[in-house]
Chains A and B, each alone.
Chain A
Amino acid sequence: MKFLKRTDLDRFLTAAAEHRTIYVPVDEEPNKSAYRRYKPGTPVSQGLKTTRSAKDFFFPQTENLVGFRIEDKKIKILDPRTEHEDFAVFGVRACDARSFGILDKVFLSEPVDTYYQNRRRHGLILTMTCRRPAETCFCTAFGIDPASPEGDVVFTETADGWYIEPKTEGGRDFLAPLEEFLEERDDKGADEAKARTRAIMEKLPLAGLKTDSFGGGKTKELFDRPEWASLSEACIGCGTCTFVCPTCQCYDIRDYDTGREVRRFRCWDSCMYSDFTKMAGGNPRLTQKERFRQRFMHKLVYFPENNGGEFGCVGCGRCLASCPIHMNIVKVMKTLSEGQDEQ
C-alpha cells in the first residue's frame, strides 16, 4: 500500500494545492480547529474534529440563490451561479464523510438542488481514520467504522504517517501527480492502526448505544412519550446543536432589498428557533418541547422512514460537546429506550 511519511505532508499538500484548492483543519486554539485554505507551511491540526462540520463546504450557512432588478419596467433576473472551482477537503473523519451521503439524499433527489450539486461535483473528500476518538463519539451506533471511512481517498493514520488508498476515480486522479511523495509499504501497519482504533471505540462510554427503539415506523410509539417534557425542559432554544451538526439540513429562504435590487438568499434554519416553519396560518410547533421533539424525531424516525432506514445522525458528538445545557441525542435515545423496555 502507498504510504505518506508525516514529514512529507507539507510537500504533499503543497504539490496537491497546485492542482486544486485544498482545505485543511487548522488549530485556532488548543482543542479547537476550523477548516482553512491550505498554503505551503500551514500547520495541519492534530485534533479529532473541527468545531463546525465539513458540511459547510457543500451547504454553506448563507448563499444567494437569485437576484431581481427592475430596469425600465422589466424585471431582470440575476443568476449568481458560476461553475465552482475544484477543491478538496483534507482530514475529514468517518462521521462527516457519512454525512455527505445523508445530505445527498436530501439535496440530490428530485428536484435536484443545483447549488449543492455544483459544489459536490467539484469537491473531493480526503478522509482520515481516527487515532484518538473522544468520549463524545458514537458513530459505531450508526454502523460507521472510524477505521475505514468513506471518501475519495482514505488516509489511515499511524504514528509516522498515513497509508493512502484511493477509493474513487476522482481519488485516483488526485493522487496521480503526487506519486513521487509516496512510498510502498506492506499493509501490516495499516491493519494494526485500524485494529487499534476499533479497540478504542469498544472502550468508549457510548460504545453500547442502541438504536433498536428507533427507525422508520416508530412515530406512533415515540411521538407522545411523556419523557419529551423532561428531556426538553432545560433546552434554551438556541441553534448550537443544529449549526454544528453535519447532517442538519433545514434552511429558510428570504429576500433582502439592497436598495438597487432584491437578493433572494437562503440561510440555515434551526428547528429549535421559535419561528421555525412559521407560515401563513400560524406555527405548527408552539412550544420548545415540540421543537425539541422535531429535531430528534427527524433524525431518529422521520429520516430513516423516508430514506430506506438510514438514520439522520452520524454520531460525531459535536452537539454533545457544545450544547450549553448538555442535553443531546444520546440522552434522548437512552431515556426513550429505557422507557420502552419497561413498557
Chain B
Amino acid sequence: MQEMMKKRAKTLLADGTVSRVIGWRRGEFSYDVTPAVFETAEEIDRDFVFDAFCGANVSKYLIRESAKEDGRILAFLKPCDAFSFNQLLAEHRVRRENVYLIGIPCAGKADIDRIKKAGIDGVTGIAEDGEDFVVSTVYGDERVKQADVLAERCLACKSKRHPVYDELLGEEGEDLPDDVRFAGVAKLEAMTAEERFDFWRSELSKCIRCNACRNVCPACTCENCVFDNPASGISQKAAADPFEENMYHIIRAFHVAGRCTDCGECSRVCPEHIPLHLLNRKFIKDIDELYGTYRAGEDDGTKNPLTSYTEGDAEASVVRERGRA
C-alpha cells in the first residue's frame, strides 16, 4: 500500500493536480510517525511512510491546509478519517475544492501502548511478518500477533467504507455492526449510578489538563475555546480541584454530541489513558436509540437529529421514562 500511495502522490504532484501531500513522516523507532506535508517527490521518496502505526487522523489538519491559497492538497484518508472529514465539510470548516481525497483501506491500526503493555520495551524496529509483528529490541526479538495489539477504536470499528473521496486505492469495505462498538457503553449502563459515578471520578481524576483530547479532536474546531478564554470566567490551565477536570470532559462531550464521528483520537492521545471515547459513544448510542441510527460524518449533516426538528422527535420525558438506561 505504501508504494502505491507514494507512486500516486508523485503522479498527482507531477501533473499539477495537487501542490502538496499530507501523510506521515518516518520516526526514530518505526512506530513514532508524525503527520507531515510533502511538497516534492524527493521528500516523498525519503520520508513518506505508511504502515500499521499511521493511525493519526489527519482530517483536522485539512482545516488549516485547505484554507491556504496554495493549490490543492492530497490527503489519504482511512474510512474513519473520511467520516471526520465529511463532518468538517458539513460544518463548512474545510474547503472541499482545495482537497484531493484518496480513500485508503484499513485493516486496523496498531497501538504501541499495547505492545509495551505486553512487556516489550527497548524497541529498535518493528516489521510486519504475516499476521505477526516482529519487534526488535535491545533485549532480543519479540513476536506479537497484530490482532492482539490493535487500537481500541479499531476493535470497535464502525465502517470500512469511505463516505467521501475523489478516488479509492484498494478495495472498498462495508459498514460494520454496532454491537461491538457499544459493548463498553452497555457495560457502563449496567452499573448503578453510584458505580458509574465512581468509575468516571476515578478515570477523570487522572486528567492533567494537557488539552490533547480537545486539540486533536476533529469536532473541536472553535477558534477560541471557552476554556482558553480568560474572559469566560472558567478558563483554566490546570485543574483547581477534581471537579474541574470532570466538568471539562463532560462539557466537551456535550459540545461534540451529534457531531462526534467516534474516530477515537481523544483516547489515542490521552497520556493518562482515560477512556474518553466512552463518553462520546454513550451520546451516540443514546441518539441512535432516541432518534434512530445516525452516523455523524456519513452525509452532509442536515439530518443531525440534535440540530434538526421533526414531529416524531422524542419528547424530553422519554429520557426520564427510560429510567436508568
Contacts and interface: CB of A to CB of B under 8 A. Distances in A.
Given A205-B29, A238-B210, A240-B212, A325 B271 contact: no
A203 B208 contact: no
B210 A133 contact: no
Nearest to A233: B37
Given A135-B124, A240-B269, A326-B32, A275 B228 contact: yes
A135 B29 contact: yes
A51 interface: yes
A267 B210 CA distance: 12
Interface string B194-229: 000000000000101111101110000000100010
B214 to A, nearest CB: 8
Given A32-B273, A267-B237, A134 B122 contact: yes
A324 B29 contact: no
Interface in B93-129: 113, 116-119, 121-124
A30 B118 CA distance: 8
B215 A236 contact: yes
Interface in B26-83: 27-29, 32-37, 56, 61
A247 interface: no
B232 to A, nearest CB: 12
A62 B207 CA distance: 13
Interface in B123-180: 123-124, 137-139
Contacts of A200: 122, 138
B323 interface: no
B240 interface: yes
Contact of B138 (A29, A48, A135): A135
Contacts of B273: 29, 32
A141 interface: no
Nearest to A207: B138
Contact of A268 (B28, B61, B138, B238): B238
Interface bin, chain A: 35 or more
B216 A135 contact: no
Interface in A259-273: 265, 267-270, 273
Interface string A47-80: 0100110000000011000000000000000000
B24 to A, nearest CB: 9
A230 interface: yes
A327 B36 CA distance: 11
Contact of A325 (B35, B121, B228, B237): B35
B35 A234 contact: yes
A132 B138 CA distance: 10
A158 to B, nearest CB: 17
B28 A330 contact: yes
Interface residues of B, number: 45
A234 B34 contact: yes
Prevailing SS type, chain B contact patch: loop
A236 B216 contact: yes
B230 interface: yes
A256 B239 CA distance: 12
A237 B215 contact: yes
B239 A238 contact: no
* From B212, B216, B230, B237, residue with most partner A Cβ within 10 Å: B237
A211 interface: no
B36 A233 contact: yes
B3 interface: no
A38 B113 CA distance: 27
Interface string A249-291: 0001000100000000101111001110010000000000000
A280 to B, nearest CB: 12
Contact of A273 (B32, B139, B228): B228
B295 interface: no
A327 B212 contact: no
Given A32-B273, A52-B208, A236-B215, A135 B121 contact: yes
Contacts of A320: 28, 32
B212 to A, nearest CB: 4
A34 B33 CA distance: 27
Given A30-B119, A324-B56, A324-B212, A273 B237 contact: yes
A326 B90 CA distance: 30
B228 A134 contact: no
A189 B224 CA distance: 58
A205 B123 CA distance: 8
B244 to A, nearest CB: 9
* From B119, B208, B209, residue with most partner A Cβ within 10 Å: B208
A132 B140 CA distance: 12
Interface string B266-279: 00110111000000
B27 A48 contact: no
A135 B122 contact: yes
A171 interface: no
Contacts of B122: 132-135, 200, 204
Given A135-B138, A236-B212, A61 B239 contact: yes
Given A52-B208, A135-B138, A237-B211, 6 more contacts: A31-B117, A31-B119, A62-B238, A132-B122, A135-B137, A267-B236
10 contacts: A31-B119, A135-B124, A230-B37, A234-B36, A236-B216, A238-B212, A239-B209, A269-B237, A324-B212, A324-B215
Ranked nearest first, the 6 interchain pairs of A and B with the lowest CB-CB distance are: A267-B238, A324-B269, A238-B212, A326-B32, A322-B271, A30-B117
